Chains A and B, each alone.
Chain A
Amino acid sequence: MPLTPEEVEEIRKILGREPTTEELAMFEAQWSEHCSYKSSRLLLKLLPTHGKNVLVGPGRDAPAVEVFPGVAVVFKIESHNHPSAVEPYNGAATGIGGIVRDILTLGAKPIALLDMLYMGNPKDPRARWLVKGIVKGISDYGNRIGVPTVAGDTWFDNSFNTQPLVNVACVGVVSTERLIRGTPRPGDVIVIAGNPTGRDGLLGSSFASKPLGEDPSQEIGAVQVADPLMEKLLIDSIQELASLGLVEYVKDLGGGGLTTAVVETAADFGLGAELFLDRLHLRTELTPLEILVSESQERMMLVIQKDKLERALEILRKYDVPYSILGVFDGSGLIKAYHSGRKVAEVPARELARPRTILRASKPPADRTVLTAPIRDLPLPPLHEALKTLISSPNIACKRWIYEQYDHEVGARTVVKPGYGDAAVLRISPEDVRGIAVKGDANPRYTSIDPFRGAANSVAECYRNLVAVGSTPIAFVDEPNAGNPEKPEHFWYFEMMVKGIGWMAEELGVPVVGGKVSFYNEDHAGRQVKPTATIVGVGALEDVGRTTTMGLKYVGSPLILVGTTFPELGASEYLAVVHGIEAGEVPTPRPSLELRHAEYVLELVKEGIAVSVHDVSLGGLAIALAEMSILGDVGVDVDIEAVACRGCLRVDEVLFSETQARYLLEISPDKLEDALKIASSKNIAVSVIGVTTSRKALRVRSGGNPILEVPLDTLKSLYEGSLEELLR
């Protein structure tokens, strides 16, 4: 997005003169929405960012939390929505590259990737082409740098046909004493390491800060080719530099390129810098302007003390990482850039780094009250048909087609693999029994109908997923994906999503330690995609041997449902795929129940009372039952009369309601009494709804009357085959 006339006037005031073309380009890059957060910064202050485990909060390239004494997890989320819309393979791959480098900046070893993909209808040719390219781009890049993709979230919806959401996250571990937490000082040397700079990705952030053009194939300037080979060298060399204490500070050259990396660092530490642009290693001849704002991938800024410089460069040479000594930081507060002996820019760092924040106008769309009105008089469909339709829905069906393309085991840390548990579980190191759980979640339908509740529910679902594998949630990062912030009806969704995330995280006592914001997610006609709040969470497990997966384990175990079910079919998957309605009241977020139920589930897992756990979310109780059954290859026999359900009038409300804060548990056959005793001592609403069976079918009764019976084989082939069928 080019600078507005008002912004140019402001720049004149800052400089006290006419800006040079180089200076204008620096301002355009840095003041883009993508780099400066000018429209979002004030609202992001609503998020709770502090907590006893937080080592590094928002502001750096990535945050860090202490998950065990002396062990830090560094994790972050990023979006590559716009690049992926024009070149899915490289767009998604460079997204992975960027998020991995963010993790490197604190000296951590990247151990896992997550991909949260909100994509178009697989029946649409362009959408399908995008899906395939995106998945291939992620898998090729992840596999080549040797970091497994262990978890994620997937959603298909027409609103994403031309503008998909590609949200990726990386998780790294590092001992707390090796965490790079130095302070750049005057005299420290600025080294740019990694790929030579080219013309690719020129002003890419500016590109990501405007709507897509009508013909996306004309956006070549903003596309970068991913280079996982160089990324791998950066991963290895930076970890070695960190372990030897040779580097004070590291920053990724991401959006805004060289300008953003230098200016933000200078501004954060009250410094200035002298840059000698002609010293930078280039791929082709570039003008000073191009050098300042190119977004060539796989480049990093290393800040090194003078007396350590030679030893640090030695390491870079050992790994064959190209580098240039670009300049030095000083105490002037000014960024001065020279090229061939000529000064091309002199800009105060602080003013360049932080444009004036804008509190954008915000207004709910006119049809909102229509959208959220309670739904009445639904016809009751044949239940077995409804179940089969739901289990085949691409939002529910097994995502094996996607994660089979990923290597999810490199590094030998993965304990719970994609598709087996509600979250992925990884060991801290291959020989450690301690582990972390990670998961990413969003529900674009919820947030498009009621952004506040929807975003709060994304946080809650992520929390439940972490709990379901037996981990204690430690921290979240977030990525609200919204439309055009200049349109009040779009900005309102962003505002409400941030408020929903902040509220729920605060209530749960889990901080949001970092994140990213993506705006301008709209098609060329100006329609925003379904606004989506993506949440990634990390939990801690003392013993990965005590984790729980969701597949049923035994025949004859009691099944208990934790939590009361309410008639909450609004905005549900059932309503959407069976009745074709995307509206209604989004299920009520229930933070205090989330906390109490999580405590209960964690105790049952720890005591070995619960042997399988699954959170009840998309598709409701029926889908939770089906998934546990399919994955364990064990049947179930359930009586819906036994389900604690307040105010439910119809059987579909019991089966498909998406009431929050619920878990479905398989209890060890001889421990039902213990489970109930603990529930009653903690005053938790639990229902013993049925039992696992050797008969391979999902059976639902209403007292003595059978109301639904589907053979497991049927469910399994629909669950496992539907997505592949659509994408093949």
Chain B
Amino acid sequence: MGVYRVVVTISYKRGLKDPEAETIHRDLILRYGYSSIKEVRVGKQLTLLVEAPNPEEAVRLVREMCDRLMIYNPVIHEIQVGLSA
């Protein structure tokens, strides 16, 4: 058994509007001259410490948890689940 740090990132699916990100981009980043920054996406990140026999199992468990407990809504969100160093 090891303990693994698993990171879940939840964001709006591509093609959906992301009002918070657009506001940050327009009213903060571009307004203060960072015109080379072309796009912003906002999301939510969860960092979890997971006890599991191996890293693959830790990721699988977290993914299952996210689906079952409806941590995100598959209709509009995409999630990335991965290990963090």
Chain A residues within CB distance 8 Å of chain B: 86-90, 125, 129, 133, 195, 198-200, 216-217, 219-220, 223-230, 283-284, 296-297
Contacts and interface: CB of A to CB of B under 8 A. Distances in A.
Given A225-B12, A229-B23, A195 B17 contact: yes
Given A129-B70, A220-B13, A226 B19 contact: yes
B76 A230 contact: no
Interface string B1-31: 0000000000011011111000100000000
**List of 6 A-B pairs having minimum Cβ-Cβ separation, nearest first:** A227-B19, A225-B17, A217-B74, A217-B75, A129-B70, A87-B75
Nearest to A198: B17
28 contacts: A86-B75, A87-B73, A87-B75, A88-B73, A90-B76, A133-B73, A195-B17, A198-B15, A198-B17, A199-B15, A200-B16, A216-B75, A217-B73, A220-B75, A223-B16, A223-B75, A223-B76, A224-B17, A225-B12, A225-B19, A225-B76, A226-B19, A227-B17, A228-B19, A230-B19, A283-B17, A284-B15, A296-B17
Contacts of A133: 73
B57 to A, nearest CB: 25
Given A200-B16, A225-B18, A284-B15, A220 B23 contact: no
A653 B19 CA distance: 54
Interface string B41-82: 000000000000000000000000000001001111000000
Nearest to B74: A217
Contacts of A88: 73
B17 A200 contact: yes
A228 B22 CA distance: 12
A260 B74 CA distance: 30
Nearest to B26: A320
Given A216-B75, A223-B75, 9 more contacts: A90-B76, A198-B15, A220-B75, A223-B16, A225-B17, A225-B19, A226-B19, A227-B17, A228-B19
A89 B12 CA distance: 13
A89 B17 contact: no
A364 B85 CA distance: 65
Contacts of A283: 17
Nearest to A195: B17
Nearest to A227: B19
A319 to B, nearest CB: 13
Nearest to A222: B75
A129 B12 CA distance: 18
B78 to A, nearest CB: 11
Nearest to B14: A284
A226 B18 CA distance: 9
Nearest to B19: A227
A195 B22 CA distance: 11
A219 B75 contact: yes
Contacts of B74: 217
A63 to B, nearest CB: 30
B18 to A, nearest CB: 7
Contacts of B16: 200, 223, 225
Which one of A86, A125, A229, A296 has the highest number of Cβ atoms from chain B below 10 Å of its Cβ?
A229
A223 B15 CA distance: 11
Contacts of B75: 86-87, 216-217, 219-220, 223
Contacts of A229: 19, 23
Contacts of B73: 87-89, 133, 217
Nearest to A297: B17
Contacts of A198: 15, 17
B21 to A, nearest CB: 10
A48 B29 CA distance: 54
Given A129-B70, A225-B12, A229-B23, A220 B76 contact: yes
Contacts of A125: 70
B80 to A, nearest CB: 18
A217 B74 CA distance: 6
Contacts of B19: 225-230
A87 B76 contact: yes
A220 B17 CA distance: 12
A226 B22 CA distance: 12
A199 B13 CA distance: 13
Contacts of B13: 220
B44 to A, nearest CB: 12
Nearest to A219: B75
A166 to B, nearest CB: 16
